[in-house]
Amino acid sequence: MNALAATNRNFKLAARLLGLDSKLEKSLLIPFREIKVECTIPKDDGTLASFVGFRVQHDNARGPMKGGIRYHPEVDPDEVNALAQLMTWKTAVANIPYGGAKGGIGCNPGDLSISELERLTRVFTQKIHDLIGIHIDVPAPDMGTGPQTMAWILDEYSKFHGHSPAVVTGKPIDLGGSLGRDAATGRGVLFAAEALLNEHGKTVSGQRFAIQGFGNVGSWAAQLIHEQGGKVVAVSDITGAIKNSKGIDVPNLMKHVKEHKGVKGFHGADAIEPQSVLVEDCDILIPAALGGVINRENANDIKAKFIVEAANHPTDPEADEILSKKGVVILPDIYANSGGVTVSYFEWVQNIQGFMWEEEKVNDVLKTYMTKGFKDVKEMCKTHDCDLRMGAFTLGVNRVARATVLRGWEA
């Protein structure tokens, strides 16, 4: 089942539990606006190249739309729609005043020079500058983009609208980016895991973690779990996978990854098959890479008691059923990885106020939001007698539905 089908399915189940009116249900699913633009740039060799840029703006009942911009050769419209919709529910679960959006450009950033990427980003911004904005739609980095991309969008947008640091988040610190943003999703994963373990009378300390994916989210989660006394026993990334049942020395692994661009060949652990990291013997499994990695093929072999979804949509619905029968507790993506968008919200708030926070404040307020978020999800689980995924979906959908009705938008 693809991401869109799975997201729609979860939405419909939540709508049924909430007893939503069928007209309201239908209107919540339809995106507010879909934008597609042609972006033509001169390449460094003087030839012209054309790319398709797009933005799906899903819902703005609770506030401006928010979501990443990705540069990737295979941009699937269904996936982008699903991710935009997922952002609507995620921001509502986190209780931050946004709706969902997602977008990007169909290109392979590896094939373009820095100056070509800059020209492409600026042309894209020229085409959509009147459709985004501080109180309309606030983009952020995603696959294939980063702080530099956001800096170019900010500069180009400001040519039309005056200096507007709050138009994008995930900016470089020097241009109004927030301290603590880089670690935010990984730190949120730690806070989410802490809340879940506390519920079961446990702490992070002494628990064994397996982490699939060692990019920004996986590596920060590993470092922070290690600092809290958790044992990281297995890790994988695109280069390979490693395990050490006594616990991997995470600070040393970080050095190795920096030097060798991946976990492969790390001396303090044994090499294993990349796929087997998901079925390693551990207490908590953290999928922090791609979607759909936990499926009916491997769900029966998973040994973890808890799964904390740091990636978007890592568990497909068939695996969900198998795992719940086994008694595995899954903390869903729309809550577990919301630390990133929550600190993006803090960045936007700081920019609007023109007053920046200390990193300690960013982390403290993030912990408050994540802890409160878990309590809210658990309340919905009690009310509707459902698992954590449905608890989170009913929480998010209910908040958006209430805002929609209060604004007089229901059909």
List the structure tokens of 161: 């609208």
- Residue 5: predicted pLDDT: 85
d(CA 268, CA 400) in angstroms, rounded, equals 48
Give, in order, the Cα–Cα distances in Å from 386 to each of 50, 219, 247, 389.
48, 32, 35, 8
Ranges of residues in the chain whose predicted pLDDT is under 70? 1, 411
Is 371 a known ligand-binding residue?
no
- Residue 1: predicted pLDDT: 64
Is 90 a known ligand-binding residue?
yes
DSSP-based three-state secondary structure for 354: coil
29-44 exposure pattern, b = at least 16 Cβ within 10 A, e = fewer? bebbeebebebebeee
- Residue 291: predicted pLDDT: 83
Q: Which residues pair with 334 in a beta bridge?
A: none
DSSP-based three-state secondary structure for 346: helix
Catalytic residues: 102
Element (H, E) at 237: strand 231-237
- Sorted by sequence, the CB contacts under 8 Å of residue 172 that are 6+ apart come out as 147, 148, 150, 151
- Residue 225: predicted pLDDT: 97
Q: What tens digit of pLDDT does each residue of 169-202 get?
A: 999 999 999 999 999 999 999 999 999 999 999 9
Is 372 a known ligand-binding residue?
no
On the 0-12 / 13-18 / 19+ scale of CB atoms within 10 A, 254 is middle
Question: Please, where are the H alpha helices in 337-387?
Answer: 339-353, 359-384
CB half-sphere exposure, 120, CA atoms < 13 A: 28
Is 216 a known ligand-binding residue?
yes
- Residue 359: predicted pLDDT: 97
Q: What tens digit of pLDDT does each residue of 236-286 get?
A: 998 999 999 999 999 999 999 999 989 999 998 999 998 899 999 999 999
- Residue 292: predicted pLDDT: 85
Is 382 a known ligand-binding residue?
no
Cα angle, residue 88 at apex, residues 407 and 36 outer, rounded to 5°? 100
